[in-house]
């Protein structure tokens, strides 16, 4: 019989009079999750491409850079992708940024990591990728100008723990961009298949705030299947906000 302390992801809740019903589900463990993504790695880019995710990512980053008024300056921007997958999210940013960028990344799937390395190499970008847990990032404090995570946190029983790690690695004033599974019909399918959270923008922002980040409400439009399955949430690490990114060191 499972312990009351077992990690679980909420799926459904309802009230009937004085009765309250709730259903939760154990998340996939790290090893099982890695195995699933290993099996999907070879066709992942093709699948997400058919759903229009790469185009949605590029639009998202262009709107973010415009609304945040960020422009390149000085040394290369330092970027960390937490759960890099096949690299689509980070590559979309690199194209939108159109200036030197140093990319670090982690993932739990060795096969996804290999796919990402190949894609970065093909597009002419250098990348350093490690197999690591987003709740224990192998980086010092205050290293990155931008941290991103696309459809990673919703796999975790306590996403705030991972967000605290991401916050730790951000420079003061650095930015965090999240893509999360939204509450929708298609979001329910994703939750059923992958045992994930489904979120509203307000819930995603509450995670950011709980991790000590300042949630930034932005008008980031999306379209197609991405709009049906995903939300984008933006946060910043407090203290000394950055507008023009002037870096003290290169990567």
The DSSP result for the chain, as a single string, is: ---TTS--EEEEEEEETTEEEEEEEPPPPHHHHHHHHHHHHHHHHHHHHHTTHHHHHHHHHHHHHHHHT-EEESSPEEEEEES-TTSHHHHHHHHHH-S-EEEEEEES-HHHHHHHHHHHHHTT--EEEEE--TTS-SS-SS-EEEEEEES-GGGSS-HHHHHHHHHHHEEEEEEEEEEEEBSSHHHHHHHHHH----B-HHHHHHHHHHTT-EEE-------HHHHHHEEEEEEE-SSS--SEEE-SS--
Query: Shortest CA distance to 235 belongs to which of 212, 83, 224, 226?
Result: 212
Rounded CA separation 124/33 (Å): 30
Q: Is the pTM of this model over 0.85?
A: yes
- For residues 27-50, average pLDDT: 90
In the prediction, which pLDDT does 22 show? 67
Domain membership of residue 3 (yes or no) is no
Q: Are 128 and 103 in contact (CB under 8 A)?
A: yes
pLDDT confidence of 1, banded at 50, 70, 90? Answer: very low
Indicate whether 83 pLDDT > 60.
yes
Domain membership of residue 39 (yes or no) is yes
Domain membership of residue 11 (yes or no) is no
pLDDT confidence of 221, banded at 50, 70, 90? Answer: low
pLDDT one-digit tens code per residue, 99-128:
999 999 999 999 999 999 999 999 999 999
Residues found in the chain: 251
Q: In the numeric block, which tokens belong to residue 211?
A: 């991790």
Domain membership of residue 143 (yes or no) is yes
In the prediction, which pLDDT does 12 show? 63
Q: Which of 127-131, 210-214, 240-244 has the lowest mean pLDDT?
A: 240-244
Domain membership of residue 166 (yes or no) is yes
Rounded CA separation 84/91 (Å): 10
Indicate whether 147 pLDDT > 60.
yes
Rounded CA separation 110/41 (Å): 9
- For residues 28-56, average pLDDT: 91
Domain membership of residue 10 (yes or no) is no
Indicate whether 242 pLDDT > 50.
no
- CATH code, domain carrying 118: 3.40.50.150
Domain membership of residue 138 (yes or no) is yes
- For residues 196-204, average pLDDT: 89
Residue that is written with structure tokens 């931008």 in the block: 146
In the prediction, which pLDDT does 23 show? 72
Q: What share of the chain in percent tops pLDDT 70?
A: 89
pLDDT confidence of 11, banded at 50, 70, 90? Answer: confident
- For residues 6-15, average pLDDT: 70
Rounded CA separation 5/217 (Å): 34
On average, the pLDDT of the chain sits at 87
Domain membership of residue 110 (yes or no) is yes
Q: In the chain, how many domains are there?
A: 1
Q: Domain containing 48: what range?
A: 28-246
21, 86, 156, 229, 234 from 18: Cα distances, Å: 10, 48, 31, 34, 38
Indicate whether 4 pLDDT > 50.
no
In the prediction, which pLDDT does 247 show? 41
Indicate whether 46 pLDDT > 60.
yes
């Amino acid at each position: 019989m499972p312990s009351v302390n077992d990690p679980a992801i909420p799926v459904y809740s309802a009230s009937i009079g004085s009765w309250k019903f709730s259903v939760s589900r154990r998340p996939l463990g790290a090893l099982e999750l890695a195995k699933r993504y290993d099996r999907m790695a070879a066709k992942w880019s093709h699948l997400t491409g058919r759903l229009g995710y790469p185009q949605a990512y590029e639009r998202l980053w262009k709107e973010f850079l415009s609304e945040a008024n960020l422009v390149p300056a000085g040394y290369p921007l330092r970027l960390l992708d937490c759960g890099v997958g096949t690299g689509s999210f980070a590559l979309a940013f690199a194209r939108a940024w159109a200036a030197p960028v140093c990319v670090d990344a982690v993932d739990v799937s060795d096969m996804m990591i290999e796919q990402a390395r190949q894609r970065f190499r093909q597009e002419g970008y250098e990348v350093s990728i490690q197999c690591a847990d987003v709740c224990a990032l192998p980086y010092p404090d205050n290293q990155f100008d931008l941290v991103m995570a696309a459809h990673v946190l919703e796999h975790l029983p306590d996403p705030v723990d991972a967000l605290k790690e991401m916050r730790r690695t951000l420079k003061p004033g650095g930015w965090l961009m999240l893509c999360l599974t939204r509450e929708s019909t298609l979001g329910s399918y994703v939750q059923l298949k992958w045992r994930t959270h489904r979120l509203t923008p307000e819930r995603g922002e509450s995670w950011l705030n709980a991790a000590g980040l300042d949630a930034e409400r932005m008008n980031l439009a999306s379209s197609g299947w991405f709009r049906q399955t995903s939300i984008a949430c933006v946060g910043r690490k407090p203290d000394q906000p950055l507008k023009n990114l002037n870096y003290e060191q290169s990567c």
